[in-house]
Structure 1
Amino acid sequence: MAATTSAGDEQPETETQTPAQLIPLLPDDVALNCLARVPRCHHPILSLVSKTFRSLPTSPLLYATRSLARAAENILYVAIRLPPESGACWFTLLHRTLSTNSTNSTSLLVPIPSCPSPSLVGSAYVVVDSEIYVIGGSIRDVPSSSVWVLDCRFHTWRRVCNMRVGREFAAAGVIDGWIYVIGGCVVDNWARSINWAEMFDIKTQTWEPVASPGMEVREKWMHASAVMEGKVYAMADRNGVVYEPKEKKWGMPEKRLDLGWRGRACVIDNILYCYDYLGKIRGYVPKEKVWRELKGVESLPKFLCGATMANRGGKLVVLWEGKAGSGGSRRMEIWCAEIGVERRGEGEIWGKIDWSGTVLTVPNESAIVNCLAATV
């Protein structure tokens, strides 16, 4: 006789949990494509909309979609030395438009997690897409071979393979998937000599030496570096060097370039921008081998010291230090200006100030270390 099952013995069907949609009535891929276009500055607000949105700003899929939709933004990151620490604290520039009127906006530097090794002094910095590499630097006057990476999407840090030698105040630049690091170490023996320059394969995350035979200039400290026309320029206290990776060729920079380069510089459309000894912003055109003054920015102060520059999506960003208050209440103000640059007429370089203002107030003995723009 076959067994029977009464109605009371039947097991209730398990209720299926359906994941909540990002936006009701829209497929998730369409919703994600819409949300990817929300400006980065509004992501903290976006995470408060609902439980579904809470983890969205930390989702790798969101940033992959932003990249595919060409909605990624160039975000400015700034390293500032705050007393009594000798290393750098990190900030990002938050720029919000308060209304449909683009002139009604606010900009300020907000803190983010700093490097887990906060005592590094004299590090080199490069940007690779959405990441900033902090290369070397010294800890209590001892050069370090460490390399830290800031993931600007999630504001997290990780450590990658150490360099072959410790370095401080080295030059660095990125070309075709390789990071080239030059100088920053003492060449006092054969082992150090072959590692005076080395390169990092971003894909395999490994270091290799860069041969520099016959180089007479092997300075330890490099005060500036840049990449122009596929070449890495490393400027030392006396002269400097130029390395062309495709030809594996070393050379010397133009004397005119060396004499006019001061402070932190940046490259926009193969023109090198920095401030000169008169405090004016100038651009070096390598094809013409000439410096030209940036016109149209006469309202900016003379940058005699404490200014640094970055290329933010083709715009020239300048940060500088100002003073506020007096006596015991004296503080330092960090000022910022964003400038659109273009060539006109007979090789003239003109700038238009899109906005400028104070973005942070810090203790009086602070100093801007560097600023860079990453794509997120």
Structure 2
Amino acid sequence: MAATTSSGDDPPELKTPAQLIPPLPDDVALNCLARVSRCHHPNLSLVSKTFRSLPKSPLLYATRSFAGATENILYVAIRIPPETGARWFTLLRRASTKNSHLLVPIPSCPSPSLVGSAYAVVGSEIYVIGGSVKDVPSSSVWVLDCKFHTWRRVSNMRVGREFAAAGAIDGKIYVIGGCVVDNWARSINWAEMFDVKSQTWEAVASPGVEVREKWMHASAVMEGKVYAMADRNGVVYEPKEGGKWGVPEKRLDLGWRGRACVIEDILYCYDYLGKIRGYDPKERVWRELRGVESLPKFLCGATMANRGGKLAVLWEGKAGSGGSRRMEIWCAEIEVERRGEAEIWGKIRWSDTVSTVPNDSAIVNCLAATV
């Protein structure tokens, strides 16, 4: 039979999908690529058309988790004038640049004017909770998916809040304060809990009015308890056994205002002298972090995060003069360890300028998520 030529009406020729890494099976190739550091994903997407969509693939991140190849990535919110809200950045390591670590912008929250939000991290997601818009407390909750740098809204809180405390324990986010408690309806919502699995809010029975305050200036989770610090000491909530409220001991409060983090049940912050200290809740004592004397005194404009068991510290510096004056954002990563029973030491792994922003900018917060 003579050969025939195809016409425009013939069905298109079926193409076999390209392999990720010929001649490896795709499951083996994916297992290899899952171990590539997140900081190299932008370069990975430039290798070929096949790789272009790989960094946005849920299968890649599922494989990273299964293979134990996840990383703790730092995210930073910075208020840059004239905006009242915060822009968002992630910290990447770039071997080919002068500064080995850089803050790279990512999509910011779709509600950019929120001020005084609370923050909580659950796995690979950062929750931005409440805040005020033109001095009106909001009940909105936004979630940053750190795998794909996308935002979504979840169910609103029962009341609007600003400058609340928040902490995540066992897949539940507890939010405390940030609202007026001048009537019964509001007082039963002074604290509430968001169940990440069911995506629902419910009220948490709160303590007497004598320990309720509107604004919380800091929060932390230690030993399965949420510490909410206010101007008059604050409260401690332990969700286990039906929920238990208490008052933190006075020595715990060094005036830390959202700039603390917890590593191996030690609370790190900086005191009024600008020194980093660690609080041991079992021994109920503060100790100075030694070995980091080369760092500046953190009198203001600094914040901290637990980045994979290491202490990440960000602070503000100044560059230039007059009309050309700019703000530098610095970051240091510190390994911390206990030595004996009376000392904690830090070893600075690296310290670098990670961004330069307009003058009068301010660091809002920094958090680490697992991706």
Same fold (TM over 0.5): yes
Q: Which runs of 4+ in 1 moved over 2 A?
A: 6-16, 96-99, 259-263
Residue among 158, 168, 171 paired with 1:174: 168
How far apart in 1 are the matches of 2:33 and 2:258? 40
Q: Is the 8 A contact 1:321 1:332 kept in 2?
A: yes
Residue among 103, 112, 115 paired with 2:109: 115
Partner-residue secondary structure (3-state), 2:29 = helix
Once the two structures are superposed, residues 253-296 of structure 1 have per-residue CA deviations (whole angstroms, 9 ceiling, x without a partner) of 01100246455100000000000011000000000000000000
Q: Is the 8 A contact 1:91 1:110 kept in 2?
A: yes
How far apart in 2 are the matches of 1:162 and 1:13? 50
In structure 2, the CA distance between the partners of 1:46 and 1:81, relative to structure 1 (3 Å rule), is: same
TM-score w.r.t. structure 1 length?
0.94
How far apart in 2 are the matches of 1:260 and 1:117? 30
In structure 2, the CA distance between the partners of 1:108 and 1:240, relative to structure 1 (3 Å rule), is: same
Correspondences of 1:1-376 after superposition (within 5 Å): 15-97=13-95, 106-247=100-241, 248-259=243-254, 261-376=256-371
Partner-residue secondary structure (3-state), 2:210 = coil
Displacement of 1:357 = 1.2
Displacement of 1:173 = 0.2
Q: Is the 8 A contact 1:136 1:168 kept in 2?
A: yes
How far apart in 2 are the matches of 1:213 and 1:241? 9
Over the residues paired in the alignment, what is the CA RMSD in angstroms?
1.8
Displacement of 1:105 = 6.8
How far apart in 2 are the matches of 1:132 and 1:339? 23
Partner-residue secondary structure (3-state), 1:42 = helix
How far apart in 1 are the matches of 2:258 and 2:166? 15
Partner-residue secondary structure (3-state), 1:332 = strand
Once the two structures are superposed, residues 173-195 of structure 1 have per-residue CA deviations (whole angstroms, 9 ceiling, x without a partner) of 00111000000001011110000
In structure 2, the CA distance between the partners of 1:260 and 1:222, relative to structure 1 (3 Å rule), is: closer
Letter in 1 for 2:104: V
Partner-residue secondary structure (3-state), 1:216 = helix
How far apart in 1 are the matches of 2:244 and 2:178? 20
How far apart in 1 are the matches of 2:164 and 2:207? 19
How far apart in 1 are the matches of 2:17 and 2:326? 52
How far apart in 2 are the matches of 1:156 and 1:14? 35
Partner-residue secondary structure (3-state), 2:41 = helix
Partner-residue secondary structure (3-state), 1:26 = coil
Q: Is the 8 A contact 1:79 1:368 kept in 2?
A: yes
Once the two structures are superposed, residues 320-372 of structure 1 have per-residue CA deviations (whole angstroms, 9 ceiling, x without a partner) of 00111111111111010000000002331000000001111111110000000
Q: Is the 8 A contact 1:263 1:275 kept in 2?
A: no
Unaligned runs of 5+ in 2: none
Letter in 2 for 1:21: Q
Unaligned runs of 5+ in 1: 1-5
Aligned residues: 367
Letter in 2 for 1:143: P
Letter in 1 for 2:28: V
Percent identity over the alignment is: 85
Letter in 1 for 2:23: L
Which position in structure 2 is the counterpart of 1:3?
none
Letter in 2 for 1:50: S
